[in-house]
Amino acid sequence: MGREPDESTHITMRIGILTSGGDCPGLNAVIRGAVLNGIKSHHHEFVGFLDGWRGVVEGDVVDLPRERVRGISKQGGTILGTSRTNPFDGENGGPERIQQTLDRLGIDAVIAIGGEGTLAGAKRLTDAGLNIVGVPKTIDNDLDATDYTFGFDTAVAIATEAIDRLRTTGESHHRCMVAEVMGRHVGWIALHCGMAAGAHAILIPEQHTTMEQINAWVLEARDRGRAPLVVVAEGFVPEGSEEAYSDRGHDSVGRPRLGGIGDQLAYRIEADTGIETRATVLGHIQRGGVPSAFDRVLATRLGMASVDAVEEKAWGNMVALRGTNIHRVPFQAALNNLKRVPQQRYDEASLLFG
């Protein structure tokens, strides 16, 4: 329920933007796209909530005038900060208290930029009557209802470049190289950077590949005179295990902190095949730094479209990429299923293994 246009300032709505969950290259481009479209097309005014839902719950905001978003689409991270705060936790959380905070700050609508957890929180708040639209975000590309998420293309490019480098040192030393990339539940990053770099094996959470098969691919590559290259997603579940490898405890929201499967595999490959093997964990390098041109364009378009959704009071919807067009889909559509790597895509890639 936006205010009536004010004759002196022409401001029609005051919109709050938040970035929540793991950061992702392109977040700043979304913010810029939203602010510029909102100001130029609709005379809206913007504020940013600091550190995701924490800023909403605590009413911690900064003004986002046009000057504040100047030149930021090429900037990594998020100028607003992020956190994994749950908007339902604490005495100031929950729909009623949050609505009171928004009213106090004169905020008419919220644009929530985030992944599955963020959108699930946004859905619950919208169901309780709050004015929220969403923008999907995850480098893992695991959100259903959108063809691609911004940040994914950048992560794949960074991982591909790093793996190309691992390959030359591997070839020089006649070693097997294992590259561990991100991908908690799905293997999109591993599949794409592995294909791009010509990996001899790609191991993803969706496929329970046996050690026997991995060793066979490694030996086949070695026997052709190549230095075997294995790309593994951090969420790969090794043979004989029920869940992804984790020896680093849990994160702030109780999820196992993944990472380390690459080392485990390197040890097994070396022991089983006799080929000297090294592992590299790419980790957060994949999430940092400047977004690719593709991600800047996608993120900018999503940001602009999110403001149009606010303008049309399409609460409870997120903007999404379908083909080359931006559409709107209900939050629920993004929450129904994870977007997993289909069997056919893995079979296609695995034709080239070994």
- 296/275 Cα distance (integer angstroms): 42
Least CB distance from residue 107 to ligand F6P, whole Å? 28
What residue number has its CB nearest to ligand F6P? 182
Residue 187's alpha-carbon distances to 126, 205, 238, 264, 315, in angstroms, are 31, 6, 14, 18, 32
C-alpha–C-alpha distance, residues 262 and 182, integer Å: 11
Residue 234 labelled as part of a binding site: yes
268 is in an annotated binding site: no
Of 247 and 312, which CB lies nearer to ligand F6P in the complex structure?
Answer: 247
Q: Minimal CA–CA distance to 247: which of 260, 236, 235?
A: 260
Contacts of 346 (CB under 8 A, 6+ apart): 187, 191, 202, 204, 206, 207
Q: Which is nearer to ligand F6P, 185 or 278 (CB)?
A: 185
Distance (Å, rounded) from C-alpha 18 to C-alpha 25?
15
Q: Is 85 annotated as a binding residue?
A: yes
Supply the minimum distance, in Å, between the C-beta of residue 330 and ligand F6P. 22
Tell the smallest beta-carbon distance from residue 283 to ligand F6P (Å).
8
Kindly tell me which of 117 and 316 has the beta carbon lying closer to ligand F6P: 117
The annotation status of 214 as a binding-site residue, yes or no, is: no
Any known ligand binding at 278? yes
The set of catalytic residues is 140
Query: Cα separation of 106 and 228, whole Å?
Result: 59
**Residue nearer to ligand F6P on the CB measure, 251 or 276:** 251
The least CB distance from residue 16 to ligand F6P, in Å, is: 24
Interface contacts to ligand F6P, rule CB under 6 A: 22, 138-140, 182-184, 234, 251, 258, 287
Residues making up the annotated binding site for substrate are: 138-140, 175, 182-184, 234, 278, 284-287
Annotated binding site for Mg(2+): 116
